[in-house]
Amino acid sequence: MTDKTFTNDIAISSRIRLARNIENTLFPQMASEADLTKVENAVTEALRSEKLAGEKYRFYEIRNMTETQRTSLAESRLISSELGKYDHSGAIINDSNSVSVMINEEDHIRIQSVKPGFDLFAAYRVADRIDDIIGESVNYAFSEKYGYLTSCPTNLGTGMRAGVMVHIPAIVMKNSLAGIISVAQSSGLEIRGAYGEGTAAMGDLFQISNRVSLGKSEIEIVQSIHEFTKEIIKTERAARNELLLLQEDDIKNEVQRAYGILTNAHMISTEEAMKLLSLLRLGTDVRLIENVSPKVVDKLMTEIQPATLTLRYRIRTDARSRDLLRAQHIKTALGDL
Amino acid sequence: MTCQICNTNPATIVVKKIINGEQTEMRLCEKCAKSQLAEVTSMFNFADLFGAFTPLNHNLNAMSKDHGEKNLICPTCNTDMEQLKKTGKVGCMKCYEVFGEYMEPYIKGIHTKTVHTGKVPKIAVAENENGENSSLREISRIKRQLEEAVREENYELAAEYRDLIHALSAKEESEID
């Protein structure tokens, strides 16, 4: 068993984001329409398909998209919910959804690379390559002292935000999160709910990321998150073992009830579904549930989000009809196995 | 019950924290309780730091007062001090030269350091008078980290460094070509 398969039950995905701006062009906040158009053209030109070694990319122009299409991309974490605030904003996204380049967000360019599981170094190699490709035809705003110059000083230096999404239900159940959050803070890192904030984080999914981007190299930042995530994985595994040892019947009961509701409910809200899917994910990880693949559960966590669900079924967008459809969708996904 | 932080030693101490009226309770071993105490002290610094995030910081406010309340304006993008304080964002790359002196404590508050040590874009490398090559510098730095990882028998990490060195070396060669 390799280290990666051994950790992918807890680390769901690894993500790198690089913020870049074009030299001598006003940042989106102050830019004129002509500036924003120039940025849009420069980036789409820099990423013309022949430069991307056969990978297929699509350009999503925000002005040509509905609110639902936009929110759905944000729910899948391919764009930020802020994209679209400025004119001529958009995103260039590859077919496998592993690379996304946002144009005219808070900065001119935001490069994002995602890898499934615990693979931050691989995600960095991809983002670094895309950065080089764009950098061949665009001169970046850069200073010797502050590094890559960004609209917000919180992103100065490397312009990098690196993050690992972890599923840590046992740590949450044991109320150990507060301690971990303060340890993260003292190491220049932070942990936030991946869907919703604080302890109300849906689905026990959390994002571990760096707070500091200046004065450390990209590799040092990636390494510190890598090491910290390893500790979180160890802690979560220990917490799971302890729960199974001391409260096996209670955990089995919770997991099987979650499975029961998910496969039988007629209507279900996003919040309830996320809570139950988290329990089901735990159940598949510790082999209490054998007939459901963890990948199906992970996919469901995105698919049941309101805009993504609406888009898939093209329904009226009231909460009640979504709850009905969500229950049907989950039943089908779990029943098809 | 075992300690909620290390999950190894038995919990002998109950640590109660009240932050912004919210009480949390943790059962810890003696060692982790001590480190928690140290963290609480450092969290006060954090509170200062977080204060600095909205709406930009009092340091900046104080600094502009020291300089006779003059409202600096960036000649390139017309962002002024008031706007910078309100939004916390600069309008263009030149703003960092115009407001740099005033922003330095704020930047230090966020990052603790104020000098970039990471990647350098190619064009900037060409302009660097020392002619130092950034990817060669980066390769030798990663090599040191690779040796460190091997020494610590962290082979997984070592393999990651090896891949990075290969990727960077390939890039280097293609540049020479």
Determine contact, residues A113/A126, Cβ cutoff 8 Å: yes
Contact A158 B116 (CB under 8 A): yes
Q: Which residues of B touch A178 (CB under 8 A)?
A: 17, 24, 26
Whole-angstrom distance, CA of residue B156 vs CA of residue B146: 10
Mean pLDDT of B81-85: 91
Contacts of residue A236, defined as CB under 8 A and 6 or more positions apart, other chains included, come to A10, A166, A168, A170, A171
Contact B114 A216 (CB under 8 A): no
Q: Which of B76, B116, B164 lies at the smallest CB-CB distance from A121?
A: B164
A34 touches chain B (CB under 8 A): no
Contact B163 A125 (CB under 8 A): yes
Whole-angstrom distance, CA of residue A158 vs CA of residue A108: 15
Q: Which of B26, B77, B120 lies at the smallest CB-CB distance from A179?
A: B26
pLDDT band with cut points at 50, 70 and 90 for residue B62: very low
A226 touches chain B (CB under 8 A): yes
How close, in Å, is residue B88 to chain A by CA atoms? Answer: 7
Strand partners, A13: A116, A165
Determine contact, residues A150/A107, Cβ cutoff 8 Å: yes
How close, in Å, is residue A16 to chain B by CA atoms? Answer: 14
pLDDT band with cut points at 50, 70 and 90 for residue B37: low
Q: Which of B106, B118, B156 lies at the smallest CB-CB distance from A158?
A: B118
In this predicted structure, the answer to whether residue B76 has a pLDDT above a threshold of 80 is yes
Phi, psi of B55 (to 5 degrees): -95, 85
Contacts of residue A33, defined as CB under 8 A and 6 or more positions apart, other chains included, come to A87, A88
Mean pLDDT of B54-78: 62
Residue predicted with more confidence, B177 or A96: A96
Q: Which of A175, A182, A214 lies at the smallest CB-CB distance from B39?
A: A182
For residue B3, give the chain A residue with the closest CA. A176
pLDDT in tens, chain A (337 residues): 344 456 778 999 999 999 999 999 999 999 999 999 999 999 999 988 666 767 788 999 999 999 999 999 998 899 998 899 999 999 999 999 999 999 999 999 999 999 999 999 999 999 999 999 999 889 999 999 999 999 999 999 999 999 999 999 999 998 888 888 888 988 889 998 887 654 467 889 999 999 999 999 999 999 999 999 999 999 999 999 999 999 999 999 999 999 999 999 999 999 999 999 999 999 999 999 999 999 999 999 999 999 999 999 987 778 899 999 999 999 999 985 4
Q: Which residues of A touch B92 (CB under 8 A)?
A: 25-27, 30
Residue with tokens 């220990």: A238
Contact A141 B118 (CB under 8 A): no
How close, in Å, is residue B18 to chain A by CA atoms? Answer: 12
Q: Which residues of A touch B24 (CB under 8 A)?
A: 178
pLDDT at A7: 73
Cα separation values, B6 from A51, B31, B92, Å = 49, 9, 46
Q: Which of A29, A153, A242 lies at the smallest CB-CB distance from B106?
A: A153
Mean pLDDT of B130-155: 72
- Residues A131-170 as b or e (16 or more Cβ within 10 Å = b): bebbbeebebbbeebbbbbbbbbbbbbbbbbbbbbbbbbb
A132 touches chain B (CB under 8 A): yes
How close, in Å, is residue A31 to chain B by CA atoms? Answer: 8
Residue with tokens 């080089």: A132
- Which residue in B13, B96, B119 has the most chain A C-beta atoms within 10 A of its own C-beta, making it the best mutation to test that interface? B119
- Give the other-Cβ count within 10 Å of B40's Cβ: 12
In this predicted structure, the answer to whether residue B126 has a pLDDT above a threshold of 70 is no
Determine contact, residues A247/A282, Cβ cutoff 8 Å: no
In this predicted structure, the answer to whether residue B60 has a pLDDT above a threshold of 60 is no
Q: Which of A27, A144, A215 lies at the smallest CB-CB distance from B90?
A: A27
Residue predicted with more confidence, B166 or A251: A251
- Give the other-Cβ count within 10 Å of A55's Cβ: 12
pLDDT at A168: 95
Q: Which residues of A touch B120 (CB under 8 A)?
A: 142
In this predicted structure, the answer to whether residue B132 has a pLDDT above a threshold of 80 is no
